[in-house]
A = this chain, B = another copy of it.
Amino acid sequence: MFEAIGERINTSRKFVQEAVAEKNADYIINDVKQQVQAGASFIDVNAGARIGHEVEDMKWLLDTIEPVATVPLTLDSPDPAVLEMAYKMVEKTPMINSISLEKERFDAMMPFLEGKDCKVIALCMDDAGMPASSNDILGRAKSLVEELNKIGISTASIYVDPLVQPISTDSKKGIMVLSAVRAIKAEFPEIHITGGLSNISYGLPQRKIINRTFVTLMMEAGMDSAIIDPLDKKIMATIRTADMLLGEDDYCMNYLKGVRSGDIES
């Protein structure tokens, strides 16, 4: 079953930032409910955009969201102090967004993650920058798994982000990440693969058809999660349809439910 991580509660989005500034809880609650209704398995919460306000904004957002969220939250910050506070405020096992192999982020995140009951997004990024090949992505994923296992995070709790790169810069960027996903899943069958998708279409027109077609390919390769806007009805319909075609929907029940509710249209 594919897990959508709803990306909408992010203070870099104009309406969210306004709602946070005005303490408009109804707006936030309504957005969270819509995301869950549309099929989000996690709600990402990012309060990083108002410089100097991240602690208070994250606290207010969690005070607002935690009582109404029927799914777990993804706590999205590079700051371990913010995450320590946020971690204590949530009831359901959260997902932490994110750790990477960049030395500064890695050194900050490891002490926070050690001994925690959480899932974690692990970015295949290091101080050399974006990965340059499938093997490079696989190597970084292996390092992340090894380090996280050492501090008690099981492989099944790791959501590797292989870092999708724009096809407009190199026509092989799509197959590069697809084969990396296949290799990571072959090495660690119980791992999860997640990430943003829209980077694939960066620099090109009519981006949504590219993103939808790409998520279908990524799902076949083994991606079972994505950081996504669950209110983008067409991509969510494509994900449910691909899930069915890949043998994950017995008797097409989830697909048929989506058609009946109007969420899936041709």
Which residues of A approach B to under 8 Å, CB–CB?
167-168, 171-172, 174-175, 178, 200, 204-210, 213-214, 216-217, 220-221, 237-238, 241-242, 244-252, 255-256, 259, 264-266
Quick check: A266 and B209 within 8 Å, CB to CB? yes
Q: A204-B252, A216-B216 are in contact. List 19 more A-B contacts (CB 8 A).
A: A168-B252, A171-B244, A171-B249, A172-B247, A174-B246, A175-B247, A204-B255, A205-B259, A206-B259, A206-B265, A206-B266, A209-B238, A209-B266, A210-B244, A213-B216, A213-B238, A213-B242, A217-B217, A220-B221
Quick check: A266 and B208 within 8 Å, CB to CB? yes
| Cβ contacts under 8 Å, A264 to chain B | 206, 209
Nearest CB to that of A251 among chain B residues?
B171
Whole-angstrom distance between the alpha carbons of A256 and B210 in the complex? 12
CB distance from A170 to the nearest CB of B (A): 9
Whole-angstrom distance between the alpha carbons of A207 and B241 in the complex? 10
How often does this chain occur in the complex, in copies? Answer: 2
Whole-angstrom distance between the alpha carbons of A246 and B244 in the complex? 22
Quick check: A209 and B241 within 8 Å, CB to CB? yes
| Cβ contacts under 8 Å, A217 to chain B | 216-217, 220, 242, 245-246
Nearest CB to that of A244 among chain B residues?
B167
Nearest CB to that of A264 among chain B residues?
B206
| Cβ contacts under 8 Å, A206 to chain B | 259, 264-266
CB distance from A149 to the nearest CB of B (A): 30
CB distance from A246 to the nearest CB of B (A): 6
Nearest CB to that of A178 among chain B residues?
B220
Quick check: A246 and B175 within 8 Å, CB to CB? yes
Identify the 3 closest CB pairs spanning chains A and B, nearest first.
Answer: A208-B266, A174-B245, A216-B216
CB distance from A165 to the nearest CB of B (A): 12
Of A207, A245, A255, A259, most B-chain CB atoms within 10 Å: A245
14 contacts between A and B (CB under 8 A): A167-B245, A167-B252, A171-B244, A171-B250, A171-B251, A172-B247, A174-B247, A175-B246, A205-B259, A206-B264, A209-B241, A210-B245, A213-B242, A220-B221
| Cβ contacts under 8 Å, A167 to chain B | 244-245, 252
CB distance from A183 to the nearest CB of B (A): 15
Other-chain residue from B204, B221, B237, B252 in contact with A171 (beta carbon distance below 8 A):
B252
Other-chain residue from B171, B249, B266 in contact with A247 (beta carbon distance below 8 A):
B171
Whole-angstrom distance between the alpha carbons of A248 and B259 in the complex? 33
CB distance from A234 to the nearest CB of B (A): 8
